[in-house]
Structure 1
């Protein structure tokens, strides 16, 4: 049975998926749950109304009772993911690549070549090397000079891959650090030289106030194509940021930019509830393992299972694009961003 603390967290999460009055109502109920004098589970067992509890009306009572009937799961295990994917094996066959991973250039433990070898074993068409940018010093973030050197290494590797008649292309990218204003920490010149740009929030992630303006500013940043681990949650560590998610997804769709499912096990961000909102708004979704070692490329299965469970259409998954289509989308987004400026 769910405890009041668990219900409080579920109410807070639901508030993030709603807007306007409903969002405020769920948030008010979440705060109140900490002070309920009796466990909601006891009222359910006694067939009493949950409206006896502070801040609970008939609408929210129905939602809580649904949670009691079928407790939601915000995270899934690799075993669960594989069971789900086994039921629809053709789904995983759509996958062409992985769009977030780290190497020894920042805080990863594998080289670029080792990550490429692991991708070849998975028959990928492409991977994006997204080492951290200079603003995230704790993760060994690289500056423009190091980024240029890394680019030369990747270009050399791609030449070798072509000579070996392999299908893999290593995309030179970065996980650019974003501040609270949605601004990045790398020069426009260095970003324009990259194949694709992923950007993420890494600070001020425990703020309880609405962060919608922060998200909209990030999406409107002309240098970004993918917003990484958008909510900023980590299992058993932090719940992540609050925002008007329908508005954020609508903006991303309008700009034709993608939000990421970070497939790292303790992130799984975006989660199922938010992916359903993304589906409603027709938003593009990108998958990235956030791998820091070659073996961690298997985390992609967590993301594949999540988007399958959310019933997202295959045509809205960035990683399902062939190489040529992916590059065309990136160029289109960049051209539109410049035109808007």
Structure 2
């Protein structure tokens, strides 16, 4: 506890004792640190992990079993004698439940699923085989194409898509000629990079649902991510129509950062999301779970709603620098909160299956 109070990030000690210390960091974040004996570890970890609603429901189950549950342990209500449960797994088992992963602990059906042994298998970081949304210094990235490819290979990716911005986002100064030259560079790199490279584009969904290039040019890209980058205050009706036009487009593979939110700066678009999800599932257009820290878009709640419609997802870094590739861990956590499994994420697919998904076929042809 003394060691916690002297950490370099600590700005102020709010209180400190033998079992609990509270500090405020230089960034203004309050952190509480607790020490518990080994016999209370499982109960304490459960108590302080997950939502209040989940914990209340778990304690109710304990009461019905003649037990009491607190951060200090699991006790028999009548005798106050402890029930051994050294880990979360043991504690859940004592209550007749499968272990519930922390991202699901919201009291939104996970307890009933655990009772029926029907919890989903959640996406894990190691399930991802590649990244389908990255940028270079050709537009607003800070790393060269070669640097991004080396970083993707070092991260263990089997494949990586370069998806620089398209020309209607005029501040990026993209042109058809620049895009075609980048494609030639990617094709040359692809031969020796030790990783499969996709030449993609992040298109701009215009207010009327139009895209940057005509279909003849769009067909030349390996992957097409379509995103909203402007006109965020359209009516709900117009915004929904705009997004529906994009997911219906036979050459659009992924709807990028669908709600466009920037946490703390810009709210999500007002749209009929159920209509968008239904149409995305119908047209086999994947929805992105964007891992950039100020986006996290789709969020966990919307991802779960989309999943109910049978939507597929892309968990992407939206990297603008080589170091950003690791952001996918945040997208994986968000996908877990949405109950998303690996079979529902297109960048868990082996290379040939991914290529098949991205290639226009008769049902998607213009």
TM above 0.5, yes or no, is: yes
Please say if 1:205 is aligned against 2:241: no
Separation in structure 1 between the aligned mates of residue 169 and residue 210 of structure 2, nearest angstrom = 14
Deviations 1:67-108 (A, max 9, x none): 9968xxxxxxxxxxxx96xxx998222110111111011111
Please say if 1:144 is aligned against 2:197: no
How many residue pairs match? The answer is 252
Partner of 1:289: 317
Partner of 1:22: none
**SS class of match (1:176):** strand
Per the normalisation by structure 1, the TM-score is 0.70
Partner of 1:155: 187
**SS class of match (1:296):** helix
Partner of 1:91: 124
Question: Judging changes above 3 Å, is the alpha-carbon distance between structure 1 residues 141 and 155 closer, same or farther for their aligned structure 2 residues?
Answer: same
Select 1:113's aligned residue among 136, 141, 146.
146
| Aligned-residue CA RMSD (Å) | 2.1
Deviations 1:297-341 (A, max 9, x none): 01100111111221113211011101110001112x443221xx4
Structure of larger gyration radius: 2
**SS class of match (1:197):** strand
Which structure is higher in RCO with an 8 Å CA cutoff and minimum separation 6?
Answer: 1
| Higher helix proportion | 1
Please say if 1:177 is aligned against 2:204: yes
Contact 1:249 1:283 survives alignment (8 Å):
yes
**SS class of match (1:335):** coil
Select 2:136's aligned residue among 84, 99, 103.
103
Question: Judging changes above 3 Å, is the alpha-carbon distance between structure 1 residues 247 and 169 closer, same or farther for their aligned structure 2 residues?
Answer: same
**SS class of match (2:198):** strand
Deviation at 1:196, TM superposition (A): 0.9
Separation in structure 2 between the aligned mates of residue 110 and residue 190 of structure 1, nearest angstrom = 26
Deviations 1:179-203 (A, max 9, x none): 0121111132221111111111111
Partner of 1:49: none
**SS class of match (1:337):** coil
**SS class of match (2:314):** strand
Question: Judging changes above 3 Å, is the alpha-carbon distance between structure 1 residues 89 and 176 closer, same or farther for their aligned structure 2 residues?
Answer: closer
Contact 2:122 2:339 survives alignment (8 Å):
no
Question: Judging changes above 3 Å, is the alpha-carbon distance between structure 1 residues 202 and 287 closer, same or farther for their aligned structure 2 residues?
Answer: same
Separation in structure 1 between the aligned mates of residue 319 and residue 288 of structure 2, nearest angstrom = 14
Contact 1:130 1:198 survives alignment (8 Å):
yes
Contact 2:300 2:336 survives alignment (8 Å):
no
Contact 2:159 2:197 survives alignment (8 Å):
yes
Contact 1:101 1:129 survives alignment (8 Å):
yes
Partner of 1:43: none
| Higher strand proportion | 2
Question: Judging changes above 3 Å, is the alpha-carbon distance between structure 1 residues 214 and 153 closer, same or farther for their aligned structure 2 residues?
Answer: same
Partner of 2:332: 304
Question: Judging changes above 3 Å, is the alpha-carbon distance between structure 1 residues 267 and 90 closer, same or farther for their aligned structure 2 residues?
Answer: closer
Please say if 1:125 is aligned against 2:153: no
Runs of 5+ unmatched residues, structure 2: 1-50, 55-101, 104-120
